[in-house]
Structure 1
Amino acid sequence: MPHNIQISMSWLLRYLKPVKGRMAALLLLLLTSTALQLINPQIIQRFIDTAAESGVVSGLLALAGMFLAISVCQQLITVGLSYLGNDVSWRATNQLRADLLKHCLRLDMRFHNLKTPGEMIERIDGDVTNMSNFFAMFIVQIVGSFVLLTGILGFMFVTSWPIAIVMTVFTLVSIGVLVCIRDLGVQTSQAERAASASLFGLIEERIAGIEDVQANGNVPYVMNRFHHAMRAVFVHGRKAWMLRVVPWNTTVILFSFAVTVVLLMGVHFYLTRQITLGMLFLIFQYTQMLNEPIEQLGNQMQEFQRAKSGLRRSGELLAIRSEIDDGIRQTMPDGALSLEFDQVHFSYKEDKPVLHNITFSLGPGERLGIIGRTGSGKSSISRLLLRLYNTNSGTIRIGGEDIRSLRLDTLYSRIGMVTQDVQLFDGTLRDNLTLFDERISDHRIIETAQRLGLHTWIEALPGELDGHLSSGGASLSAGEAQLVALTRVFLTQPSLVILDEPSSRLDAATESALQSAVDQLMQQCTGIIIAHRLSTLEKADKIMVLGQGRILEFGSRESLAGDPFSHYAKLLAAGSQEELA
C-alpha cells in the first residue's frame, strides 16, 4: 500500500462507510458537547460579574442551576461519546480483522511456511487493535477540535482582539508544527509492531514444542531467547513512544508561552478597567480551553502515528498475492476420476528440487501405492494434487482436466485426504466429523460410522455426537483422532482419495476393522496410498517407488512383486519396514 496519508485515509474511510450513521451521531454528540463547553464559562462570567455588582440572589441561583444542568448534560454526553466511539471502533476494526483473516486463509503454503501462528495473530489482531481509537475518534475529534477552536477564537475577537491575535498565533503555530511532524514516529511504531509480532511468534512456537523443550532441558535457552525478544520490544517501544510524544510536548511548551502572554495582557486590561473581573476569568478559562483541542490534536497525532504503522502493515499483508490462481471450470466427470502427472518438476526452494520429471497415470478407480524413504517426495505429490503449491513445470490432470483450470472449491469437493497429523477443532464431535457442514445429517454420520465399524466407539464417548472436543485434540488419543479424519473423508464421498498412512496410529485390531471400510471407499473412487508399511499396499493396483524425488519404478503390483530384481520385490523379500523409514 502506498504510504501517503491520502491513500491511507481513503482506505480508512472504506471501513468507516458501513458505520456512517453511528459516525454522524458521534459527530452530533461531540458538537453538542463543544457548544456546552463554550457556554458554561460564559455563565460563570455572568455569575461573577452579577455577584461583584451585588446582584439579586435569585439571578445568581438561576445561573448556578443553569451551570449545574449543563454540567450534568456534558457528563451524560461524555458517556454517550465513549460508548458510541467504542461501538464504531470495534465494528470497523472487526471488519478489517475479518478481511485480513480471510486474505491470509487464501494465501499459499509458501507464505504460511514463513509465518508462525503467533506472528499472524499479532498481525491480524495486534496491529488492528492499535488502530481502534483512530477508527473511532480521529475524524470526529479533529472536526470537534477545530469547531471548538473556531468558537473560542471567534468569541475572543469580539471581546478583545489583541488577546485573540495571541491565541490565533499560538493556534496556527501549534497546528503547523503538528502537521510537519505528524509522521515522526510512524517508522519506529512499525518496528515496534514487528518486534511484538516476533515475540508472539516465539512464544507460540515454544509452547507448541513444550514437550521437546522440557524433555531436552532447553528451558534456559528458551528463556534467553524470550528475554532477547522482550528487550527488542522494549527498545523499539521506548523509541517509538519518545517520538510519538514529541507533538504533545511541543504543544505544551507553546501553550506555556501563550498562556503567560494572555494572562499578563488580561491582568493589564483588568487593572486599567478595560474588562471586568468576570471577563478576566472568561479569558483565563478560554485560554485553558484553547489548550484542550490543541492537546487533543497532539494526542490524535500520536494515535495517527500508531494507526498509520498498523495501516501500513495491514496494507502490506493485504497486498501479498497467492501464487495459486483460482481456475474457472466448475464441472468434472462423475464417478471415480483419472489422474495423470506429465513431466512434473517441483521445489520448495529454487536451489533444492524435490520432484524430478514425475510422469505416470492412473485410470478411474485404480489404486496407487507410493513408497520411498523419508524425503523422497511422497507427500509433495499429494500437496501438488491439492494445489497447496504450484508445480515449477509440467501438468497435473484430474478427470482429464488440468487442475490449474479448475476452481479450487470444485477441486476440493472431489478430493479427500487423510494425513497422519490430524487437526481437530474446538467444537462437538459432530462438528469435527462434518467440518461444521450443517447439511450432513446425524443419520448419515451414524450410517457412515456403522460402515466403518466406529459406531460402538462413538457410543462410548461422553455425549456421543454432542460430546465436546478441545482444539488440538487433547481430549482424544492419536488413534481416535485418526478415526475422526477417516470418517470425515467418508462423509465427503470423494472421487479421488489420498491416504497418507491412515492407519499409522491405530492398533492392529482397529486397523483390521477399518481395512474393509477402506476397501469399500476405494471401490467408488481412485486412490493414492502413501505407505510406510508394505502390508497396507496388498490391494493396490499399481506401485510407485520414489527415491530422491525421482520415480525409481512404476508398474502393476503383481508384476513388480514377481520381478526379483525390482525395488518393490526386494523390499517384500526383506520384510523391512525400517527400509521405508
Structure 2
Amino acid sequence: MKKSIQSYTKLLSKYLKNSKLQLVTLAFIMGGSIIIQLINPQIVSFFIDGIGKQKPMDTLFLAAGLFILSALIQQVLAVASTYFSQNIGWRATNSLRLDLVKHCLGLDMTFFKEHQSGEIVERIDGDVTALFNFFSKLFVSFINNIFLMAGILIILMIQNTAVGIAFILFLFLALAVMWKTQKGASYNFGKEREINAQFYGFLGEHIGCTEDIQTNGARSYVMNRFYALLRNWLPVQLKAFLSGYKIWITLEGIFGIGNIMIFALGGYLWFTGKISLGMVYLMINYIQLLEKPLEQLREQLLDIQKASASIIRMEELLQMKSKLKTTVDNREDFPGEFSVNSMEQFTAGNKINEFIKNKNKDNISLKLEQVSFEYEENIPVLKNISFELPAGKILGILGHTGCGKTTLARLIVRFYDPKSGLIYLGDKPLKRISLKELRENIAYVTQEVQLFHASVRDNITFFNPAVEDSLIIRTIYEMGLKDWYENLSNGLDTMIQSGGGMSSGEAQLLTLVRIFLKNPKLVILDEASARLDPITEKLADQALSKLMDGRACIIIAHRLGTVERADDILILDGGSILEYGKREELLQKKDSKLNELLKYGIEEVLV
C-alpha cells in the first residue's frame, strides 16, 4: 500500500500541477456544497419545531424560502463541480496519454514485435481512461467527504452528545467493514485489465489480417480463439466486479442497521421528551446524508482499486527501456527522451524548403565491420558481415528469402543493434550518433508503404505544414512524376484512405517523393519495386534515378534488373557473405555467383 500511495502522489503531483487554479476552485465549490448540505437539514428541523411551537408565519415562510434558495445554490454548485472536475480529468489524462505515446515511440522494435498493436492501444487508452475519475475529482472529493462526515458529527455532538456518540460508533464500524471488504480488489481489477488488453490485441491483429484469414479458410480457427478469449474473460471480469459489489452489499447492510438504530434511538429520546421532533428529523436526515459520502467513498475505493491496477500496468510500460542507447558528447541519450513542438516542425519545414531551392546535397559513406546479429539466442541471422559503401555509390544486395537482407537494412537504420561488430555512418559509429540525426540522414523504403487517412500533401510531408505546396509540386515534376500527379482527382488535396484507395505502385511513387523531400544522405530500397507493374515501374525508375543521383544507396532485390545500376554487388546466403565486389569485376569472372545468376535466372537460384 505504501508503494501505491507513493504512486498516487507522484501521478497527482505530475499531472495536476498545471491545474492548480482549477483544483483550488473545485475545492471551494465542493466546500460550499458541504456547508449547504449541513445547513439544509437545520432549516427543515427549525421549520418542523416552529410549526409545533406555533411560530409566526413570516418566520416559517422565511425558513421555507431559505431552504429553496439553498437547494437551488446546491444544484448550481453541483453543475460547476462537474464542469471543473471533467476539465481537470480530461487535461490530466490527455497529458498522460501523450507521455505514454512518446515513450512507446522511443522503444526499439523488439517491444513492438513482442506486443500486439491492440494491446498497446488498450494500455495507452484503456488504462488511462480508468484513471479519469482518479484525476478529475477523486482526491478533492475524498477530502470533501471526510469534511462532510466530520461536520455532521460535530453538529450532532453539539446538539446532543448521546446522538453524536451513536453516530461516531456507527461511522467507525462502517469504515472498518468497508476497508476489510475492499482488500483483494486491486489484484482482480489488474487481471481484468490484463485480459482486456489481450482481447483488444487479438481483435486488432485479426481485423488487420481479414483478407488472409478469409482467403485461407481460417475463419473457424479465429472464431474458436475468439470464443476462448471471451470464456477466459468472463470469470476474471466477474471476480473484478464482484469485488466492487461486495463493498456495496456490505455498505447497504450497514446502513440498514444504522437506520434501525437511529429510528429506535430517535423514537426513544422523543418519547422521553429529551429531544424535539425537529431533532428526530435531523437525526434521520443526517444518517441519510452520511450514506452519500460513505457511498462515494465506496465508489472511490473502487476507483482507487481500478486506478491502482492501471497505475501498476502503466509503471510496467514506462519502466520498459529501449535497448538502443546512444552516447553523444559523453552522455547517454535514450530514444524515448524527445519532444516535438510546432517550432521544431516549422524549422524542419524550412530546412526542406531551403534544400529544394538550393539543390544542396551532402554525401556520406557507410561501413560495416564483422557485424553479427540474432533475434533469438543462439540462432544467428547475420554472421560476420563486412563491407564498405563509399559516398555517392550504389550497393546491390541479393539473396534468397530469409538470408538476412532485410535484417541488415534494419541494423543500418538502427531498429536493432548488432550482437557484435560495428556500423559506421561517415566516420562515426552508429552508437555515437543520436537516433534523431541518424533517422534524418537515412531513408528506408520497404515493399509495404504506410498511408494515412489524410490528403496527398499530408502523406508526403508527414503532416508538416511548413513545406510549401509549390516546392512539393516542383519536386514531383522534377522526379518525372508529372503524369501521376496530374491524374490525382484533387491535386495535393486528394484524400487517401488508410490502407487503401491507392495501388501499390502509386503508394511507392508517393514514398519516393517523401524521400526526396527528406533529403537523406543514404537511401535503402528494400524490394521497393517488387510489386510494381511495368508502367509504374518505369515511372519509379525515373524517380529513382533522380533520387539516387549523388547519394549513397543500397538496393535490396530479387531481380537482377533492379541492381543493374549498382556499383558493387553483395550476395548473402544463410546470413553470411557469399560474394562481394564491384559489379563489373564480378561480371568478368566466369565462375562468380553473379554470372551464375545471370546464366540460370535469379528467381530460380535465389527464391
Residue equivalent to 2:524: 498
Shift of 1:326: 3.2
Of 450, 453, 466, which aligns to 2:480? 453
Asked if residue 394 in structure 1 is aligned to residue 421 in structure 2, the reply is: yes
1:125 aligned to 2:125?
yes
Instruction: Tell me the residue number matched to 2:43.
Output: 43
Compared CA separation, residues 178 and 110, structure 1 to 2 (3 A): same
Counting only pairs closer than 5 Å after superposition, residues 153-232 of structure 1 correspond to structure 2 as: 153-180=153-180, 182-232=182-232
Q: Which one of 423, 441, 452 corresponds to residue 450 of structure 2?
A: 423
| 1:217 Cα offset (Å) | 2.4
Residue 27 of structure 2 corresponds to 27
Partners of 1:417 and 1:579 in 2: CA distance: 26
Matches within 5 A, 1:290-305: 290-305=290-305
**What's 1:311 paired with?**
311
Task: Report the Cα distance in structure 2 between the residues aligned to 1:109 and 1:54, rounded to whole angstroms.
Answer: 82
Q: Secondary structure at the match of 2:211?
A: helix
Amino acid in the other structure paired with 1:234: L
| SS across alignment from 1:431 | helix
Distance 1:527 1:566 in 2: 23
> Which whole-Å CA distance do the structure 2 matches of 1:321 and 1:181 have between them?
37
* Aligned partners of 2:4 and 2:308 also within 8 Å: no
Q: TM-score by structure 2 length?
A: 0.92
What does residue 260 of structure 1 align with? 260
CA contact 1:397–1:403 (8 Å) conserved in 2: yes
Given the alignment, which residue of 552, 560, 564 partners 1:534?
560
Residue of structure 2 equivalent to 1:381: 408
Cα distance in 2 between the residues matched to 1:381 and 1:146: 62
1:398-547 equivalent positions in 2, closer than 5 A = 398-472=425-499, 474-547=500-573
- The CA distance in 2 between the partners of 1:232 and 1:137, in whole Å, is 33
1:566 is matched with 592
Taking the aligned partners of 2:3 and 2:196, their CA distance within structure 1 comes to 21
- Residue 380 of structure 2 corresponds to 353
Please give the secondary structure, in 2, of the residue aligned with 1:499.
Answer: strand
Secondary structure, aligned partner of 2:326: coil
Deviation at 1:444, TM superposition (A): 1.9
SS in 2 for 1:577: helix
For 1:92, the equivalent position in structure 2 comes to: 92
Counterpart CA distance in 2 for 1:22 and 1:255 is 35
The separation in 2 between residues aligned to 1:190 and 1:151, in whole angstroms, is 36
Deviation at 1:574, TM superposition (A): 1.1
- In the alignment, structure 1 segments of 5+ residues that lack a partner are none
Q: Is the 8 A contact 1:326 1:406 kept in 2?
A: yes
Paired AA for residue 364 in structure 1: A
In the TM superposition, what whole-angstrom CA distance separates every residue of 1:62-102 from its partner, at most 9, and x where no partner exists? 21111111111111111111121111111111110111111
Question: Which of 524, 545, 553 matches 2:579?
Answer: 553
Deviates more, 1:175-184 or 1:521-530: 175-184
2:131 maps to 1:105: no
CA contact (8 A) 2:481 2:543 kept: no
Amino acid at match of 1:7: S
Q: For 1:254-283, what per-residue CA distance to the aligned partner results, in whole angstroms no more than 9, with x for missing partners?
A: 333233222211111100111111111111
Q: CA deviation at 1:396?
A: 0.1
SS at match of 1:354: strand
CA distance in structure 1 between the partners assigned to 2:516 and 2:496 by the alignment:
20
- CA shift, 1:435, in A, is 1.4
3-state SS, counterpart of residue 252 of structure 1:
helix
Q: TM-score, normalised by structure 1?
A: 0.96
Name the structure 1 match of 2:395: 368
**Aligned AA (1:44):** V
Tell me the amino acid that sits aligned with residue 429 of structure 1. V
The answer as to whether partners of 2:366 and 2:424 remain within 8 angstroms in 1 is yes
Offset of 1:450 from its aligned partner?
Answer: 1.2
Please state how far the C-alpha of 1:562 moved relative to its aligned partner. 1.9
Deviations 1:281-315 (A, max 9, x none): 11111111122212211110001001110111111
Q: Given that residues 189 and 240 in structure 1 are in contact (C-alpha distance below 8 angstroms), is that contact kept between their aligned partners in structure 2?
A: yes
* Equivalent residue number for residue 241 of structure 2: 241
- The match for 1:73 is 73
The one-letter amino acid of 2:321's match is R
Distance 2:270 2:298 in 1: 33
Give the deviation of 1:334 after TM superposition.
Answer: 7.3
Instruction: Return the alpha-carbon distance in structure 1 between the equivalents of residues 593 and 229 of structure 2.
Output: 50
For structure 2, the 5+ residue unaligned runs are 334-359
The whole-number CA distance in structure 2 between the counterparts of 1:456 and 1:334 is 26
8 Å contact from structure 2 (residues 479, 547) kept in 1:
no
Q: How far off its partner does 1:55 sit?
A: 2.5
- Please tell me the residue identity of whatever aligns with 1:461: L
Displacement of 1:9 in angstroms is 2.5
Aligned-residue Cα RMSD (Å) equals 1.8
Q: In 2, distance between residues paired with 1:51 and 1:77?
A: 30
Q: Cα gap change, 1:357/1:2 in structure 2, threshold over 3 Å: closer, same or farther?
A: farther
Query: Distance between the aligned counterparts of 2:276 and 2:464, measured in 1?
Result: 77
SS at match of 1:388: coil
Name the structure 2 match of 1:145: 145
Equivalent residue letter for 1:337 = I
Cα distance in 2 between the residues matched to 1:211 and 1:337: 42
Partner of 2:339: none
Q: 2:370 aligns with which of 331, 340, 343?
A: 343
Give CA-to-partner distance per residue, 1:177-209, whole Å, 9 cap, x none: 444555421111111011111111111111111
Q: How much does 1:509 deviate?
A: 2.6
- Given residue 201 of structure 1, which amino acid in structure 2 is its aligned partner? G
Q: Is the 8 A contact 2:523 2:553 kept in 1?
A: yes
Q: Report the 3-state secondary structure (helix = DSSP H, G, I; strand = E; otherwise coil) of the residue aligned with 2:373.
A: strand
Answer yes or no: is the 8 Å Cα contact 2:455–2:494 preserved in 1: yes
Equivalent residues, number: 578
Other structure's SS at 1:4 match: helix
With 321-330 and 369-378 compared, the bigger mean Cα shift is at 321-330
Matches of 2:7 and 2:116, distance apart in 1: 30
- SS of the residue 1:318 aligns to: helix
TM-superposed CA distance for 1:123, in Å, is 0.5
C-alpha distance in 2, partners of 1:349/1:227?
32
- How far the C-alpha of 1:2 sits from its partner, in A, is 8.6
Moved more, 80-89 or 215-224: 215-224
Q: Distance in 1 between matches of 2:540 and 2:258?
A: 84
SS at match of 1:476: coil
User: Shift of residue 10 of structure 1?
Assistant: 2.2
Distance 2:516 2:257 in 1: 78
**3-state secondary structure, aligned to 1:422:** coil
Deviation per CA, 1:505-525, whole angstroms, max 9, x where unpaired? Answer: 222233223324322322221
Deviation per residue, 1:407-455 (Å, 9 max, x gap): 1111111111211100011211011111122332222211221122212
CA displacement at 1:339 relative to structure 2: 0.9
Rounded Cα–Cα distance in structure 1 between residues aligned with 2:131 and 2:553:
49
Q: Distance in 2 between matches of 1:16 and 1:245?
A: 30
Matched letter for residue 152 of structure 2: I
Deviation at 1:12, TM superposition (A): 2.8
DSSP-derived class of the 1:540 partner: coil
Secondary structure of the equivalent of 2:77?
Answer: helix
User: Is 1:134–1:307's contact at 8 Å kept on the other side of the alignment?
Assistant: yes
